[in-house]
Amino acid sequence: MHKRFLSDNNPHTQLEKYKTQYLSDFLDLYNKEDGCQRKAKDFVQSCIKPAVKQFICGSLGVNIVDDILEGSHSAEYSSRTIFQYNIQKELLQQEDFKSFVSYIGNYEIFVKDWIFQQILQKMSEEKTLCKLKNNNLQVIDKKISKAIDQAAIGEDGAPLPDNTESITKLISNMRKHLIKDISLSVEAEKTTLFQIQSSCHSFIKCLKSSMKELKEQLEKEFSKSDDITETLNKLPIKPQDELFKRVFGCGRQCPFCKAPCEAGGKEHKQHHAAIHRPQGLGTYRWESSEKLVTSLCTTDVHSDAVFKSPDTKGRWHPYKDYNKYYPDWIIPPDSTIEASDYWKYVLVKYNDRFAEEYKAKPADVPEAWRRLTKEQALKGLRDAFNMK
């Protein structure tokens, strides 16, 4: 940080950076030329353009979220239930074991990556990203045009005097009118307007002309096919994170079976899941046999069964008193609830691979589970989420 500070404030570095600018200023003074248009253009390129691009980029994340929630994919994000159904259905159809492992073990990361891929696809369609950028450009261009007109009027309601000194007042007024939207660099202003000899009214006219050129320049820049992945990764507000927060809440998972929390709203103190899974999917295994567990959390918290985990520091603890270690989770004790046919099918299909992945032995699954078909698993998924 110290080296960077010295570099940024090194007089020689700054002089080299603006060498061309100072040369042009010197030539204008020597030739006794106004250089108004050049000064206005330099001011727009050095002060306004970076601020405009920052405004466009700063708003783009939210724009993308709104576009997806209002577009063709809106149904998929209309509720947590519909999303969970769609993503689990896709997992079943793809039959990719590694995806199941990622979904179960790192739910939030997996879902955000899944959303990111959906965003990439959506932003690639019909140059959607370009349209969103241009929409933001139109918004900020109108604000700047309005700010220039307002800044040209003094506190007494009369136009600013047509002299060189009024240019400083004009820029100061512009800052005040644009403070909520963009920030103009003071350093860049001092450099670009150094030794300006123009009158205020001429500068305003040239400024508006340069703003028109900037708008056309950025429109042309946006029309070129850019790297959408790179653009999304540079956004200050990541749309995949925003969508996850808006639709899927906290991202916390059941401490036993890894089922995601389904509590609504961004702020909730208690986590719960309507549909729990066989605990073996969440890496739990019997200590004596090392076989993956097939029972549900809801069954075990209703029984005298015990568990141990890194949270209990390897000590056995009754399931029914799970709140001691997981006070923010609600797991209703109910021995009548069964796992959905979906997760029964998944555990049977990938039993050996889950065992290998979790360094355990395959679960002893009931014979009835082995007879389940993919179609029955899909029906079980529809029933679990009340989807017709």
Convert the pLDDT of each residue in 136-191 to its tens digit.
999 999 999 999 999 999 888 899 999 989 989 999 999 999 999 999 988 888 87
Q: What would the two tokens of residue 340 be?
A: 């959905």
Convert the pLDDT of each residue in 244-269 to its tens digit.
887 776 888 999 999 998 887 667 88
DSSP state, residue 270: -
Q: At what angle do helices 341-349 and 374-384 cross, to 10 degrees?
A: 140
6 occurs within a structural domain: no
What's the pLDDT score for residue 266?
Answer: 62
Residues 121 and 157 in one domain: yes
Among the listed ranges 189-198, 224-233, 320-329, 374-383, which one has the minimum average pLDDT value?
Answer: 189-198
259 occurs within a structural domain: no
Neighbours of 363 (CB within 10 A): 26
Among the candidates 187, 215, 248, a domain finishes at: 248
What's the pLDDT score for residue 139?
Answer: 96
Residues 234 and 321 in one domain: no
235 occurs within a structural domain: yes
What's the pLDDT score for residue 192?
Answer: 79
Residues 182 and 308 in one domain: no
- The total number of structural domains in the chain stands at 2
Residues 157 and 96 in one domain: yes
Q: What is the mean pLDDT of residues 8-35?
A: 71
Neighbours of 55 (CB within 10 A): 20
Residues 99 and 138 in one domain: yes
SS3 annotation, 102-117: HHHHCHHHHHHHHHHH
What's the pLDDT score for residue 151?
Answer: 95
What's the pLDDT score for residue 94?
Answer: 94
More confident residue, 228 or 33: 228
Residues 222 and 281 in one domain: no
Is 244 in contact with 235 (CB distance < 8 Å)?
no
Residues 113 and 70 in one domain: yes
Among the candidates 190, 215, 248, a domain finishes at: 248
Share of the chain above pLDDT 90, in %: 61
Residue 132 has pLDDT above 80, yes or no: yes
Looking at the DSSP assignment, which residues form a beta bridge with residue 329? 271
Q: What would the two tokens of residue 59 be?
A: 């708003």
Per-residue pLDDT band at 11 (split at 50, 70, 90): confident
Residues 231 and 312 in one domain: no
What is the DSSP pairing of strand 271-272 with strand 329-330? parallel
- Residue type at position 131: K
What's the pLDDT score for residue 24?
Answer: 67
Residue 273 has pLDDT above 70, yes or no: yes
Task: Please give the residue range of the domain that contains residue 146.
Answer: 27-248
Residues 375 and 282 in one domain: yes
349 occurs within a structural domain: yes
What's the pLDDT score for residue 78?
Answer: 75
Residues 301 and 225 in one domain: no
pTM of the predicted model, to two decimals?
0.76
Share of the chain above pLDDT 70, in %: 95
Residue 116 has pLDDT above 90, yes or no: yes
Convert the pLDDT of each residue in 301-351 to its tens digit.
999 999 999 999 999 999 999 999 999 999 999 989 889 999 999 999 999
Is 298 in contact with 337 (CB distance < 8 Å)?
yes
What's the pLDDT score for residue 153?
Answer: 93
Is 279 in contact with 256 (CB distance < 8 Å)?
yes
34 occurs within a structural domain: yes
Among the candidates 214, 248, 282, a domain finishes at: 248
Gap between the Cα atoms of 25 and 206, Å rounded: 17
308 occurs within a structural domain: yes
Residues 201 and 309 in one domain: no
What's the pLDDT score for residue 335?
Answer: 87
| φ/ψ (deg, to 5) at 217 | -65, -45
Among the listed ranges 115-124, 130-139, 203-212, which one has the minimum average pLDDT value?
Answer: 115-124
What's the pLDDT score for residue 93?
Answer: 95
Q: For all residues of the chain together, what is the average pLDDT?
A: 89
